[in-house]
Amino acid sequence: MMISFSVIIPCYQDEERLVQLLEQLQKLPHRPTEIIVVDGANSQTCRDVCTRHGVCWLASEPCRGRQLSQGAALAQGEALWFLHVDVRLSVDPLAAMGQALAQGAVGGYFRFYFDAPRAWPALILEPAIALRSRFGVPYGDQGIFAKRDAYFAAGGHAPWPLFEEVPLVKGLRGLGHFQPLLEPIWVDSRRWQRDGWWRRTWHNRKLAIYFACGMSPAKLAEQYRARRP
């Protein structure tokens, strides 16, 4: 019998991609027990989308770490799966996660791939991200998942708007095996297309360096948002 999963999705004024993600989840061969969308914009549009798709909608302040924590507190599944709205899923991700957890992992993450339209820098960046994830921290766009009890034992997400998964991943690794899956998750490449592949990558690395040096996640989030059109 497969372990039960709760999917938790933070959203902020991105209902078009939310619809696409919910439709993907509802077409999977193995489906989650519940889907919880935590809306940082408290939007009637987002609420209507959730109603149409039969998923739980929660209002929250616009802070991704708090949104994720709020969704996790409500979730009833034996395992929690955290998804950003702008990802494309593999064929049967719940089976892959369930197998990893059944074999003793406390949690894990998917392998990062850029979704189309792709460009040649993706061929360099994807293996580099895999190495960074293995020896550093995979980020939230890689579909982090965890057993429910392990998630709370690790301290959950930090109440930050950026890098909120860093203490969680470190805590999970301290509890047991944190499994890097071979199954891919495709991440929307629009920010790299818009800003330039190397410029966007360097900007992200600078934020990570500043975070490691102790800069506030709130200040870093301001810099991150400043890159948006």
| CB contact at 8 A, 32 and 60 | no
How confident is the model at residue 229, as a pLDDT?
46
How confident is the model at residue 226, as a pLDDT?
67
- The Cα-based distances of 5 to 101, 131, 135, 228 in angstroms read 11, 27, 27, 33
Short-list 94, 114, 115, 97, CA closest to 106: 97
pLDDT in tens, the chain (229 residues): 689 999 999 999 999 999 999 999 999 999 999 999 999 999 999 999 999 999 999 999 999 999 999 999 999 999 999 999 999 999 999 999 999 999 999 999 999 999 999 999 999 999 999 999 999 999 999 999 999 999 999 999 999 999 999 999 999 999 999 999 999 999 999 999 999 999 999 999 999 999 999 999 989 988 887 655 4
The whole model's pTM is what? Answer: 0.96
Q: How many CA atoms lie within 13 A of 218 on its CB side?
A: 3
How confident is the model at residue 2, as a pLDDT?
82
Q: Are strands 56-59 and 34-39 parallel, antiparallel or unpaired?
A: parallel
Q: What is the CATH number of domain 5-191?
A: 3.90.550.10
Short-list 185, 180, 184, 176, CA closest to 133: 180
Query: 130 in helix, strand or coil?
Result: helix
C-alpha to C-alpha distance for 120 and 122, rounded to whole angstroms: 5
Q: How do the domains of the chain map onto residue ranges?
A: 5-191
| CB contact at 8 A, 137 and 170 | yes
Q: Are strands 56-59 and 79-82 parallel, antiparallel or unpaired?
A: unpaired
Strand order in the sheet with 145-147: 56-59, 34-39, 5-11, 79-82, 145-147, 107-114, 178-187, 87-88
Number of continuous H segments (helices) and E segments (strands) in the chain: 10, 8
C-alpha to C-alpha distance for 178 and 134, rounded to whole angstroms: 9
| CB contact at 8 A, 28 and 92 | yes
